[in-house]
Amino acid sequence: MPNRPILIAVALMLSLAMGLRQSLGLFLQPLTRDLGLAVADFTLAIAVQNIAWGVLQPIAGGFSARLGFRRTLVTGAVCYVAGLLVLASARGLVGVTIGAGVLIGGALACTASAMALAVAARAVPVAVRSTVLGLVTAGGSLGSIVAAPLGQVLAEGWGWRAGVLGFAALAIMMIPAAWLAGRVDRVVLPSRGTGADDTTARAALAAAFAHRGFLVMAGAYCVCGMQLIFLATHLPSYLALCGMDPMLSAQALAVIAAFNVAGSLFFGWAGGRWPKQALLGGLYIARSIVLAIYFAQPPTPIGSLVFAAAMGFLWLGVGPLISGSVAEMFGLRWQAMIQGLAFMSHQVGSFAGALGGGVLFDLMGSYDLAWKIGVGCGLVAGTLQLLFAAPKPPRLEPAPNAG
């Protein structure tokens, strides 16, 4: 495959971007104790990160269509390093919010799933696109396997600031990976057909907002974000409150990352054979059932790792299904922007999951109501996704036959 270096580079970039971000919850307890902050203060910064990521995602997608992927990806990688350095030097809520919130949120809009999968979709033939999207997502899920244990070891030995600086050192590797992934700008898209030359960003957005299947998918994606960010942010705190070994949190995040590989590969493969939106509905329902079973009883080390494995399998499999659905619905030219629009909905849910979990904990002293809300919303979202799963509509442009 001539574009294999692009796929390897974009998977590495995605792996670091998501692995570092998903492991920030490890610093919740030591950071808040050191700086005299409440749990809700830290989760406010994570909520700002998710809103910044969501709001800027379609903008970054539009820039990539007009200015090229390389400029967008490299800018995001540099912002990621800057955000971690600001967080490591933070002396209060403002520094934490700017570093972990605004800067990392903007960086993720340029380097995370929506952009990485748009690069991968453009680099390969349509016949293998879904499988390749699963492979890139799987490769992109490995970052937590390195980041979570590294951050935990550094934080326990030298303090949370050393852990964040270790994350910054890993993030520097994103810059050359983003530069190499930007070679996808050289891939020429095919002609979009007679009468399609005047397709604009405005027309693409209008088509998205007029499409019932897309709107239902985006709404369910909102609940997906709420569930996942609640876990990524609050699972370490929940386990600590239950008296578990602090290293169990890092182990659980690493197990989630490992099983992300299997889940991403499976759902990428399955998306090439069965309706993607129906698979999404089943995934959301299964995830909600797993959440309910785990939180309904006191945690144990083995039970927590089994839960992490099940959630990992159901975690990033959403990525290739959403990306493939958007490409089928609207083609490739504006894929990053339209996928970013769906991801904005995801991040609204992420904001609710991160901040809402912290607020409910501060008010009630437990996570009981928070996880019950997440399970209920997930079951509703999955059911609606199944009911409104639709056949493939016409594209704004035909998909390419080769990269």
The secondary structure of 5-39 as a DSSP string is: HHHHHHHHHHHHHHHHHHTGGGGHHHHHHHHT--H
Rounded to whole angstroms, how far apart are CA atoms 59 and 128?
Answer: 28
CB 105 within 8 A of CB 52: yes
Cα distances (angstroms) measured from residue 148 to each of 81, 151, 250: 17, 5, 5
Per-residue confidence (pLDDT) for residue 245, from 0 to 100? 80
For 281, residues 6+ apart whose C-beta sits below 8 A from its C-beta are 220, 382, 383, 384, 385, 386, 387, 389
Burial class (CB in 10 A: 0-12, 13-18, 19+), 200: exposed
Rounded to whole angstroms, how far apart are CA atoms 278 and 115?
Answer: 24
Per-residue confidence (pLDDT) for residue 36, from 0 to 100? 87
Reading the chain (403 residues) residue by residue, the pLDDT tens digits are 567 888 889 989 999 998 898 788 788 888 888 888 887 788 788 878 878 888 898 888 888 878 889 999 999 999 999 999 999 998 888 999 999 999 999 999 999 888 998 888 888 887 788 888 888 888 777 777 788 788 888 888 898 899 999 999 999 999 999 999 989 888 776 555 443 334 677 888 888 888 888 999 999 999 998 888 788 778 877 888 888 887 787 788 778 877 888 888 898 888 888 888 899 999 999 999 999 999 988 889 999 999 999 998 998 788 888 888 888 888 777 777 888 888 888 878 877 887 788 788 888 888 888 889 989 999 999 999 998 875 444 445 544 444 3
Per-residue confidence (pLDDT) for residue 17, from 0 to 100? 92
* Closest by Cα among 164, 217, 173, 196 to 398: 196
Rounded to whole angstroms, how far apart are CA atoms 190 and 333?
Answer: 10
Where do the domains of the chain lie? 4-185+200-387
CB 160 within 8 A of CB 30: yes
4-185+200-387 folds as Growth Hormone; Chain: A; (1.20.1250)
Per-residue confidence (pLDDT) for residue 1, from 0 to 100? 53
HSE (CB half, 13 Å, CA atoms) of 350?
27
Rounded to whole angstroms, how far apart are CA atoms 71 and 61?
Answer: 12
Residue 398: helix, strand or coil by DSSP? Answer: coil
**pTM of the model as a whole:** 0.74
Per-residue confidence (pLDDT) for residue 190, from 0 to 100? 58
Per-residue confidence (pLDDT) for residue 23, from 0 to 100? 83
Per-residue confidence (pLDDT) for residue 205, from 0 to 100? 83
Rounded to whole angstroms, how far apart are CA atoms 293 and 307?
Answer: 9
